[in-house]
Amino acid sequence: MNIKIALLPGDGIGPEIMESAVGLIKSIADRYNLSISFSEQLVGGASIDEYGEPLTEQVLEECYDANAVLLGAVGGEKWENLEHQKKPEAGLLKLRKSLGLFANIRPAKIYPAFIDASSLKADVLSGTDFVVLRELTGGIYFGEPRGYDETHGWNTMSYTKDEVDRIVHMAFEMAKQRNGKLTSVDKANVLEVSQFWRSRVNEIKEKFPEITLQHMYVDNASMQIVRDPTQFDVIVTGNMFGDIVSDIAGMITGSLGMLPSASLGDQYALYEPVHGSAPDIAGKDMANPIAMLSSVAMMFNHSFQMTQAAEIIEKAIERSLEQGFRTQDIFSEGKELVSCTKMSEIILNNVEEIMNEEAIGVFTL
Ligand code: IPM
Ligand code: MN
């Protein structure tokens, strides 16, 4: 299999964790006899510094031409005062929109070795395993009209039938593959756009009689995730509610530094950690590479249907945590504090070891 991956390290800790990702991809590629080529490109602040804009057409072309896009993180103080369209974040939004990545999958999974690091009590958290499916190319993030003047600022939250239907379909399908429970999050007690969303969800539900559906207002859902996260299986919601709810979901797992994400469309796919660019620790070899490596696992799974490789990566991450290794963001007494490079090395060794145990590659010529 010939695979081309576009690498967009971006800003802050992005380049450091991207290096770990590349090491991991190469070692999987060796075993599975994949021929992988990389195309490394600038995005976000790094692109602003070089070209004066956060995402150039040429980079976009490289992404269209790739089988998958891997992104580190974008943003930092340096570019905070630029006008809206010139900020690093605008590059990310343009990338999502141009590639048609309407579905953002953010799993909230608890690593058992890690349960004590959460801000929630272990007994509340135990057994938590749900996914937030966030609509990513519509809603208030992209709605027109938008703008501000001296006295007034405005945005528009709107959803078309097609936009709601495709994400909601995906959510029902996902619930079918998982534990058969779907929660649709909206604000239908206040917003017409949510009433519309809800009516579409109810209509689509008729095609999925085996799925248990509930609707929840976004404020209540946020509270419920903290109160009893085990009640959720798949959560589907719009762009802005999904942004907020997925951060809450991320935090209760113990560290945002652990969580991967996949953004999928009909033709393209992008994988990135949920955490940001963490400029305060950039260049210090302190970042946690786990979310990035776990995003690579999602890439093998969703883009290349290599479920086994994805599982091996996840197992290797779990094993490294069980062995007691921690980067500074997840460090606690009695554990061994390691750098980003070291953590990546340990995970990679475990990947190799697991592949040996499972005799992966030994029979291929
Ligand atoms: C995210 C981020 C982005 C978003 C920002 C950086 C534009 O917060 O991926 O959740 O709001 O979508
Ligand atoms: Mn966010």
Phi-psi region at 324: left, alpha or beta (left = phi > 0; alpha = psi -120 to 50) = left
Residue closest via CA to ligand 1's atom 4 equals 243
**Ligand 1 centroid, distance to 45 Cα (angstroms):** 15
Nearest ligand (C-alpha, residue 142) = 1
| Atom from ligand 1 closest to the CA of residue 104 | 9
* CB-based contact 197:208 (threshold 8 Å): no
**Ligand 2 centroid, distance to 104 Cα (angstroms):** 11
**Ligand 2 centroid, distance to 263 Cα (angstroms):** 13
| Atom from ligand 1 closest to the CA of residue 247 | 10
In angstroms, the first-to-last Cα distance of the chain is: 15
Q: Which helix (H) or strand (E) holds 195?
A: helix 192-205
pLDDT attached to residue 365:
45
Residue of 95, 243, 270, 274 with the most ligand 1 atoms within 8 Å of its CB, for mutation: 243
Closest CA to 296 of 276, 308, 310, 279: 310
pLDDT attached to residue 360:
81
What are the residue boundaries of the structural domains of the chain, listed by start? Answer: 1-104+259-365, 119-252
pLDDT attached to residue 109:
83
CB-defined site of ligand 1, < 6 Å: 89, 92-93, 243
**Ligand 1 centroid, distance to 175 Cα (angstroms):** 25
- Positions marked active-site: 141, 187, 219, 243, 247
CB atoms < 10 A from the CB of 114, how many?
Answer: 20
User: CA-to-CA distance for 49 and 237, rounded, in angstroms?
Assistant: 35
1-104+259-365: CATH topology is Isopropylmalate Dehydrogenase (3.40.718)
Whether domain 119-252 has CATH 3.40.718.10: yes
Same fold, 1-104+259-365 and 119-252: yes
Mean pLDDT in runs of 10 for the chain (365 residues)? Answer: 93 97 96 95 97 97 98 95 91 96 93 80 92 98 96 98 98 98 98 98 98 98 97 98 93 82 97 93 96 97 96 96 92 94 98 92 57
pTM for this prediction: 0.93
Angle at 202 between CA 155 and CA 221, to 5 degrees: 60
Residue closest via CA to ligand 1's atom 3 equals 89
| Atom from ligand 1 closest to the CA of residue 136 | 12
CB atoms < 10 A from the CB of 127, how many?
Answer: 9
